[in-house]
Amino acid sequence: MSAPNKSYDPVEVATLSPDEVQRMVDDALAAVAAASDLDELKAVRLAHAGDRAPIALANAEIGALPPAARAEAGKRIGAARAAVRTALAQRQDELETERDARVLVEEAADVTLPWDRLPAGARHPVTTVAERLTDVFVAMGYEVAEGPEVEDEWYNFDALNFPPDHPAREQYDTIFVAGPDGTAHSGVVLRTHTSPVQIRAMLSRPLPLYVVSPGKCFRTDTLDATHSPVFHQIEGLAVDEGLTMADLRGAIGAFVEAMFGAGLRTRLRPDFFPFTEPSADVSMECHVCRGASTRPGAEPCRVCRSQGWIEIAGAGMVNPRVLVACGIDPDRYSGFAFGLGIERTLMIRHGVTDIRDTVDGDVRFSRAFGMEA
Ligand code: FA5
């Protein structure tokens, strides 16, 4: 074999010189050693072992060498690449081991933590009060009746003896559901009260009839301390032979005692609802001061505003016109009905001063009532 032809003058390719290749390897190994996490190492891999890395670019220059010089340059580049690959693999191992150790510490689950001290959440007090109210009447033999929240105007108003254009309709700040063609008055409303369930019950159930119906109502009222555009009522309806105002009073009295305490008096004062005749506004004796705050020089009462009485419901004897609209003979049957606001009952019972607390969705409010079933 002949010695290398020293007189041959190969094309000079500086990037392939041993010094230069060694410099590339040194740079690469320094960068690998400096990578402090797997992301950094990924960037180093791209910069020093990727297609555009200095060593890869130098490799591409091998073709420019005379054939005799290519093998040696190829070996040099191959060794350089292998050194960089080995360093990368070692560092990858080290960093993965470090990462795994860190994750084990950071994400460790302490299985000895007491699981039963996690907050369990709470049912909304409006729900629990509604259920408690319902239970009071169910215990007296009433059945639970339901009706839709998106209601036919006929059930919400007409059948309840609200003539069209009667001013009483205006008092019910109604949200009308637009028709499919965009008409504002499609004949469908978001029910403004639970009283339409009275009609549905009378039309569908046999007599005698004793039902309660808790549920959501909607009005265009602006949200303030005492009003909400979405609130809840509970409706009561009894239709039987021989019912009188005394029975209505008895039912209301039983509910007041069950919800607010024994011995509280109730008061009925004349009011107007188109679907009851006579109609009454029902108040109960203040369960906090029991009327004491009305005496001269007495401590004022926050709950009844020193009135001694708290309004709790609208009520009355079912208007015979409503009975007739439901196909019931008013000469044989009579009925009484009442409707009360559930948020209002909750507020009175628990001294809540702002109805907005019931709609804010702050779990601290609900939790304060505990997990009452
Ligand atoms: C009625 O809705 C009648 N349907 C009640 C009735 C039923 C009378 C059966 C006779 C026989 P009224 O509009 O007064 O009545 O509402 C009843 C209760 O609902 C009020 O006392 C109040 O507690 C509650 N309520 C009414 N509007 C709101 C509102 N925007 N936010 C919270 N509660 C409300």
Does ligand 1 come within 6 angstroms of the Cβ of 35?
Answer: no
Q: Which atom of ligand 1 is nearest to the CA of 227?
A: 31
pLDDT of residue 250: 93
The DSSP letter of residue 160 is: G
pLDDT of residue 8: 47
Tokens linked to 299: 């401590």
Task: Check residues 13 and 312 and name the one with the higher pLDDT.
Answer: 312
| 371: pLDDT strictly greater than 80 | no
CATH of 125-367, one of 3.40.228.10, 3.30.930.10, 3.30.56.10, 3.30.70.270: 3.30.930.10
Of all protein residues, the one whose alpha carbon is nearest to atom 32 of ligand 1 is 227
Does ligand 1 come within 6 angstroms of the Cβ of 273?
Answer: yes
Does ligand 1 come within 6 angstroms of the Cβ of 283?
Answer: no
* Mean pLDDT rounded to a whole number for the chain: 90
Task: Check residues 69 and 250 and name the one with the higher pLDDT.
Answer: 250
Does ligand 1 come within 6 angstroms of the Cβ of 221?
Answer: yes
Output the CA 341–ligand 1 centroid distance in Å.
6
Output the CA 173–ligand 1 centroid distance in Å.
12
DSSP string, 312-366: EEEEEEEPHHHHHHTT--TTT-EEEEEEEEHHHHHHHHHT---GGGGTS--HHHH
Output the CA 168–ligand 1 centroid distance in Å.
13
Does ligand 1 come within 6 angstroms of the Cβ of 48?
Answer: no
Of all protein residues, the one whose alpha carbon is nearest to atom 19 of ligand 1 is 341
Q: For the chain, give me the number of helices (H) and strands (E)?
A: 12, 10
What confidence category does residue 126 fall into, taking pLDDT thresholds of 50, 70 and 90? very high
| 276: pLDDT strictly greater than 50 | yes
What confidence category does residue 198 fall into, taking pLDDT thresholds of 50, 70 and 90? very high
Cα gap 173→192, rounded to integer Å:
8
| 11: pLDDT strictly greater than 70 | no
Does ligand 1 come within 6 angstroms of the Cβ of 228?
Answer: yes
Q: Which atom of ligand 1 is nearest to the CA of 339?
A: 7
Dihedral angle of Cα 133, 137, 143, 144, to the nearest 10 degrees: -10
pLDDT of residue 134: 96
Residue 279 phi, psi (nearest 5):
-110, 155
To the nearest whole percent, how much of the chain has pLDDT over 90? 64
Does ligand 1 come within 6 angstroms of the Cβ of 91?
Answer: no
CA angle 270, 194, 229 (to 5 degrees): 95
Cα gap 323→239, rounded to integer Å:
9
pLDDT of residue 255: 87
Does ligand 1 come within 6 angstroms of the Cβ of 227?
Answer: yes
pLDDT of residue 372: 53
| 364: pLDDT strictly greater than 90 | no
What confidence category does residue 12 fall into, taking pLDDT thresholds of 50, 70 and 90? low
Does ligand 1 come within 6 angstroms of the Cβ of 233?
Answer: yes
Cα gap 59→73, rounded to integer Å:
8
Of all protein residues, the one whose alpha carbon is nearest to atom 23 of ligand 1 is 341
Does ligand 1 come within 6 angstroms of the Cβ of 161?
Answer: no
Q: Which atom of ligand 1 is nearest to the CA of 193?
A: 2
* HEC sequence for 249-310: HHHHHHHHHHHHCCCCCEEEEEEEECCEEEEEEEEEECCCCCCHHHCCCCCCCCCCCCCCEE
Does ligand 1 come within 6 angstroms of the Cβ of 356?
Answer: no
The DSSP letter of residue 239 is: E
pLDDT digits (tens, 9 = 90+) for 20-37: 999 999 999 999 999 999
The answer to whether the beta carbons of residues 47 and 31 sit under 8 Å apart is: yes
| Spans of all domains in the chain | 14-106, 125-367
Which three-class secondary structure state does DSSP give residue 42? helix
Does ligand 1 come within 6 angstroms of the Cβ of 315?
Answer: yes
Does ligand 1 come within 6 angstroms of the Cβ of 199?
Answer: no
pLDDT of residue 1: 47
pLDDT digits (tens, 9 = 90+) for 53-63: 999 998 988 88
The answer to whether the beta carbons of residues 346 and 125 sit under 8 Å apart is: yes
- The pTM is what? 0.70
| 71: pLDDT strictly greater than 90 | no
Cα gap 81→79, rounded to integer Å:
5
| 45: pLDDT strictly greater than 50 | yes
Output the CA 212–ligand 1 centroid distance in Å.
15
Does ligand 1 come within 6 angstroms of the Cβ of 274?
Answer: no
pLDDT, average across residues 238-246: 97
143-144 vs 276-285, strand pairing mode = unpaired
| 360: pLDDT strictly greater than 80 | yes
